[in-house]
Every structure is written in structure tokens, then in C-alpha cells.
A and B are shown apart, each in its own frame.
Chain A
Amino acid sequence: MRKTGKKILGALLATSMVMSMAGCGSNASTANAINGKATADGSDDSAIAADSPYAGKGFNFSTKETIVMYALGDRPADMDAVLEKANSEYFEPNLNTTLDVQFLNWSDYQTKYSLLLSGGEQVDLIYTASWCYYNDEVAAGAFKKLDEDYLKTYMPYTYEELPEEAWKEIAINGDIYAVPKGKATFTSYNGAVVRQDLIDKYSLTTPDSWDNFKKYLEELAELQSETGVTALNTDANREQLFTLFCQENTLQGVTEGYDFLYQANNSEKAPNPEDIQYSYMSDFYTDYALQMADLASKGVWSSNAINDTTDAQTYFENGTSGALVWNSSILTAGDNLEKAGLGEYKVYDVTPNTKRSRGAYSVDATAIASKAADPERAALVLDYMKSDVDLNRLLLGGIEGTHYELDEDGNRITLDKASDYPWNGWAWNINRQDEPDEAGMDERAIEYGNKCEEMEFVPEQTGFTFDPSPVQNQYAAVQSVVSEYQQSFALGIYGKDTESAIDEFHEALKAAGVEEFTAEFIKQYTEYKEANNL
């Protein structure tokens, strides 16, 4: 009896395993018509308006479909109202499609992102970026490859409008897997927002250079018991000073997403392969770590910042931090500080002589999931969102007259309801070059923006992308070592032992295979450089 029982159990297990495998294997087919004809099959415009920008282009709109798009961030309170307007006035009459936007919150997008693409939920369009798994998901085959013909056919307007370098930046080994945004801003250049009221009150050093900024922080740290303000109140999730340090030393990243640096000295020339260093193995990094340990020992930030997870921007906004270093979002932080009546802010360019590059177009993009049931319809929806000015503004900033309005110069004025649908709250991956500026911008913000435009810098190797798959194991291991040490060096927790900690860090990196990883990177870069005659 026992034996038969075991046999039955065995048979059951075998069946269930086979069944589950079969279930996994069956999604390979690319047939996309769920209940009718797919957009790519033949021409049928009967279901859309005659004046639709997509009428007469040979698409099949006979079936009504729902396209699901995933974005990062929190769902705005008025999202439903905006979607209803977008659907009833744009998508339904002109594409016979309903758009649904879902959100991945900042707090858990890292854990959900991959699961979403590998799981069974409907995902047609999804936000991606060089910092948001673009390379990894492409390597895993999660995104549909978009060749030139496909783009010309299914994204006709966007293909015309986007600048060529945008397509170049998003390409991996020449293949495009996502559609970049339409407007590149200086998102990767960092400045500092500081407490001007404290500078005036205690006549502190004006933080207009890297050394003066450090002096300002040190002076403020000495006054902490009097002011109750931590000089640079920071936390374990934000590395505030590294980008600034790189700017000070004109260190430039070779490509987005991988930590390879070279000293550009404000020259746009592509670096020689031998001048490229892996950031964490370089002498610059050692210097940085020592400077951070020095700042930490002077009490510039709390000694347990490493175990703190409250966001640093919050600290500046609630008046407990003397500075915040980040991209142009420091202006928002300063604004919030003043709105709360807790102090007066001023923004400083700490590295005024360094040229600055625009963030790549590829830092924000939209991909079509390879599991999308009708990728052609999804492509049309994306094209429409990006190319129709009115629809684009509706998605970016809400309903005109409710959430924002435009003044006679074409600048946008924020209305009372804007907090329920803030401008650029989630749709920054579909923004356009002609996106209206905010009217009545604080002069400090205008000055900061102008300075960036003046010092623009476009390195020649823009467009080079790295494919880590030949050294996937080493890459994964190196990344894990970096993630273990990075914040600890940034917050200087080793104090006097920093140098020996750096040695240990370098040993760990070598053990993880940083040399093979670097060699592969240099090899691919050299090939790119030669192929493009740089």
C-alpha cells in the first residue's frame, strides 16, 4: 500500500511539473490578435474619425483595444479625470484605443520592475532608462526591437521629430529598443542649495567653489549646537557629493550607466582608451573617500547617517540641513523651504568653470514590452502621445484651465489645482522640445538654467553603449562589491582607517573580476572609437 501511495504521488508530481513547464513554454507565439484583427493586418479605418492623424495610413483599427502603460512615481490625484479626457477626445476617436496608465511607486519599483515584465500582467508600454534596467531588460529580451522600418511605419511623427543623437544614444550595438524623450535637460549636473539666512547671520564662507563649499559645511558643523542645523543632513540612499567631486575634477563618464571615467579637462574630444579608468579603482576615488572621511570626522553629517533612510531633500525642506546637493531639483527644495517659512535659500554653482553635458535623451525613454499583445497599436499610441502637442500637454500637465494655463508668452502658469496633477509628475519620458517653461520663474532658477546653457558640452563619444553580457558574472560580482562599500565611503564611516578600507575594497573588486570587466569595456570602447574615427 505504501508503495502504491508513493507511486501515485510520484505520478502526480511528474504531471504537475510537466503541466507547469508546458504553461511556461506556450507564450512563445507572437500572434497578437486577441479578439479580432491586429493593427498590422491590412487597412480598416472605419472605426476611427476621418480627420484622425492616423487615417489612411494603412492600419487596421477594426478592434477596440486597451493599451496599458507603466510609469514611475505616485499616481496623481486627478489621473482619472485626465485619462478620461485623453481617451474620449484623443485615443478613442483617433486610434479606437483606450489608454490605461499604471504606476510603480518610487519605494518599490526596483523590486516590481522585473517581475512585471516577466509576469502575466498586461504591459504594453513601460518607462525605462539607462538607470532603470534598460540594458539589463534588453539583454533579457523584455523589450521589442524597433528597427528603422518599424519606427517609420508605426511611429511616423516621432521618427521625424526626434533628433538623430537621441536615437543614437538609446541604441545598443546599433539596435533600438526604446523611444527616448524629446527634450534633454541638464539633469546630470549638480549644484548646491544652501541656507543664505545662516550665511548672512553668521558671516560664513560663500560656497562658490568646491573648497569654499567644504569650508562652509565645516563652519556650519561647528555651529550645530547653536543653530540646530546639521551642515549636510544626508542619508544612506543618496550619494550627494560624488558628482560634485567629479565636476570639480572635470571627470566625465564615458557612457551612461557604467562607472567608467576619464578626465576631460573641458575638452569634447573622445578620450584615449588608456585614459579611461574604472571609477572605484581610480586614485580620484581614493582622494574622494579621504575627503569624505575628513568631512565626516568634522561632524558635517550625523555619524549614523549610514543607517538613516529619511530622504535628504526632506531634511533641507524642514530646515534641519544646511545644504542639499543635487540636480535642478534643488530649486524645488529651496522653494519648499521658503514656503514653509523656515529660512532663505540661495543656489550656488560650486564648480563654475566646469563644462556640463546635457543628460542624454536616453536617461528617460519608453519601451514596448515584447509580450505586448498588439505592439503596433502600442507604438501608435506612443507616437500619438509624443507628437500631438495638445495631447502631450494634457498628459504632462493636466487639463488647461484647471491644472495650468499659458500666458501670452507661451509660458505656463501653475493653477491652484496643480497639486492634484503636477506638471511633469510622471510623463517626463514623453516630453517634447517645445514643452512650455514655467512663467514667473524665480530669478535664481533662471540664472542657474542660463549658466548651464552657456557651458554646454557634448563629448564626442556620446552614443557609445556598453554590452556587459560577455562578462556578466564579473559584472554582477563587481556591482555587488560596489553596492556593499559605496555608501560607506560616501559617508566616511571608516574615519582614520579609510586608506586600509580602500585597499580592502580594491582587493574585493579584483577578486570579483574588475580587471576582466574593465578590459571588456575598454575593448568595446576602442572598437567603437575606431569604427567612428574619433
Chain B
Amino acid sequence: MGKRIAKNKVLLIMLIPAVVYVIVFSYIPMAGIVLAFKNYRYADGILGSPWVGLDNFRFLFVSNKIWDLTKNTLLYNIAFIIFGMICEVGFAIILSELNNKIFKKVAQGFMFLPYFISWVVVSTIMLNIFGDNGVINSVLTSIGQEKYSIYSNTALWPVVMVCVRLWKQTGYGTVIYLAAIAGISQDLYEAAAIDGANVWQKIRYITLPSLKPTVMIMTLLALGNIFRGDFGMFYQLIGANQLLMKSSDILDTYIYRLLLTTPDVGMTAAAGLYQSLLCFITIITANWIVKKIAPDYTLF
């Protein structure tokens, strides 16, 4: 043991910042979980506050909303993961096959740009395009058509949300897959070219299989957060519109609204623990399944 430590001294030193970071920001706060089972009072401190058993969790279940919320969160995230992956991989392959360097850089830049726009701004842009006095309605009224508001059309919102999400996030994911494609050995493509493979065959038999590990890892990482909604996105785009909330209220926005009206540390901790537990179960299960079918690609 001591010998191995001495041997890998430099590597271990390099590891220290990451370990310290994880301990300070992930493991130490974990002790706060006790709050989910306590009626927290400032004066008594965390350890001194009285235990209340599972009382803090009851509020999640009294209104029966928790199942709808969990379902919304889950389905939205599944849609984001699947469509996101298809778009990201697709665009990464298209970009990598492009020969015009300038166009490639410009296209990549424009794809990446929405990633830097905050959701607050996105919601304003949406309002100015789709709103009552937005671009679309101005055009519609000028050609003598009825006004149309997507803000009162509930059924459309899951599609709207996925589209907006893709518009904003695809550029970022594409970069990761582009890097993975750049890492594929050129020898493979040259050999395929000599054998007479066309572009589609190269993509089908070389690029896609080589991307498999990256896709697996990215998906597994995304699965770990599948019960955590993108708060900023839902909070900004949906706001207080109850019509849209029916299909687009997620755990995070619900808990936020709830605790804004009745700030209670114990209940917040309970809600957070509920989410974390679901995420934990998902990632363990997903990893277990991957281990069975493709053991090389597991996270741990």
C-alpha cells in the first residue's frame, strides 16, 4: 500500500482538489438530510431540533399531486434526452462531414450561441414572437387572419418545450460529440475509402459505432438527473399560467412555489430527499442494466 502511494504520489496530489471539492460540496452537505426528519428550529440548531418522523414528507402526498409532477418531470426529461441525443449526434456528424471550414465554424458558432442566452431572456423572446402582440400575431392580423395564442393551447406545450430546449442545448452537446468524432482514428476512414465505402457507409460502420461509448456515458449521466427538472426553463417559460402547468408543472417548480409561500426548511429537505432518492434508484438500475448488456460502458 505505502509503496503504491509513493509510486503514484504526483497523481494522488493532482487528485486532491477534486476529492476536497466533492467532500466539501457533496458529502458534508449530505448530513443535512437529517433535516428532512426534523422540525427545524433556528434556536435549537440542526441536531437539537425535535424529530418528527416522516411528517415532513406528508405534504408531498396530501394533495396527490406528486404523481403527476413526478410523471411530468420524468417524461419531459426522457424526451429531452432522446431528442437531444439524436440532434446532437446528427449535427455533430453533419458538421464533421462538412468540408467548407468557414461555413463549418460559422454554423457551429450560431448553434452554440443560444446556449449562452439565459432562460429569462428566452421567455421574453418567446413572448415577443408568440405573444398577443408578438410577431406571429402581427403578421396574422395584417393578412386578415384570427389571432392565435400558443399560451392558451395546452396540448401544444410539450412540443414547444422540447423544441425550445433543443434550440438552446443542441449546440453544447454537439461540441462534445464533435470532439469524440475528432478522436476517431483517420486510418479507419482511409481503409474504408480504399475498400470503396461511401459517406453513408463510413458513418454507419465507423462513426456511429465509435460514438457508442460517448453516447452511453452521456445518457447514463443524464439519467442520473432524470427526476430533476430544468427549473430555470420551466419557471421562466410557464410562469403562473395554470393552463400550461397542467402539462408542464414539474417537481422543481412545484416545490419552489410551495416553499415560497410557506418557508419550512424540513419540508424543503424532504422534497429534495425524495428527488435524490428517485435519481439514486434510477442511476443504480440503469448502471446495473448496462453492466448486464455492455459491461465496458458502465459508470462504476
Contacts and interface: CB of A to CB of B under 8 A. Distances in A.
Interface of A: 1, 4, 12-13, 16-17, 19-21, 24-28, 110-111, 113-114, 117-118, 133, 136-137, 140-142, 236, 302-304, 306-309, 370-371, 468, 472-477, 479-488, 493-494, 508, 511-513
Given A118-B265, A477-B63, A27 B241 contact: no
A141 B62 contact: no
Given A21-B47, A302-B133, A474-B62, A142 B42 contact: yes
B239 A306 contact: yes
Contacts of A477: 59, 62-63, 258
Interface residues of B, number: 50
Contact of B62 (A370, A493, A511): A511
22 contacts: A1-B1, A16-B28, A20-B28, A21-B47, A24-B46, A111-B260, A114-B263, A136-B262, A140-B40, A140-B265, A236-B239, A306-B239, A306-B240, A307-B239, A370-B43, A475-B262, A476-B261, A476-B262, A477-B63, A477-B258, A508-B65, A513-B62
A25 B58 CA distance: 26
B64 interface: yes
A397 B252 CA distance: 42
A20 B31 contact: yes
Interface stretch (B73-81, B210-218, B242-250, B285-293): B242-250
A110 B40 contact: no
Contacts of B280: none
B127 interface: yes
A304 B132 contact: yes
A141 B200 CA distance: 68
Nearest to A371: B42
Contact of A133 (B65, B123, B263): B263
A306 to B, nearest CB: 5
B30 interface: yes
Across the A-B interface, the 9 shortest Cβ-Cβ residue pairs: A488-B242, A141-B41, A24-B46, A141-B43, A479-B261, A25-B47, A487-B240, A480-B258, A512-B63
B44 interface: yes
A509 to B, nearest CB: 9
Counting chain A CB atoms within 10 Å of each CB, which of B47, B63, B249 scores highest? B63
Interface of B: 1, 4, 23, 27-31, 34, 40-48, 55, 58-59, 62-65, 123, 127, 131-133, 149, 151-152, 239-243, 245, 249, 254, 257-258, 260-265, 267
B267 to A, nearest CB: 6
Contacts of A21: 31, 34, 46-47
A479 B259 CA distance: 9
| Residue from the set B28, B29, B43 with the largest chain A CB neighbour count within 10 Å | B43
Contacts of B28: 16-17, 19-20
A28 B265 contact: no
Contacts of A110: 260
Contacts of A17: 27-28, 30-31
A303 B132 contact: yes
A16 to B, nearest CB: 5
B243 A493 contact: yes
Nearest to A489: B242
A229 to B, nearest CB: 13
Given A25-B47, A114-B265, A304 B1 contact: no
Contact of A494 (B30, B243, B257): B243
Contacts of B29: 20
A508 B243 CA distance: 15
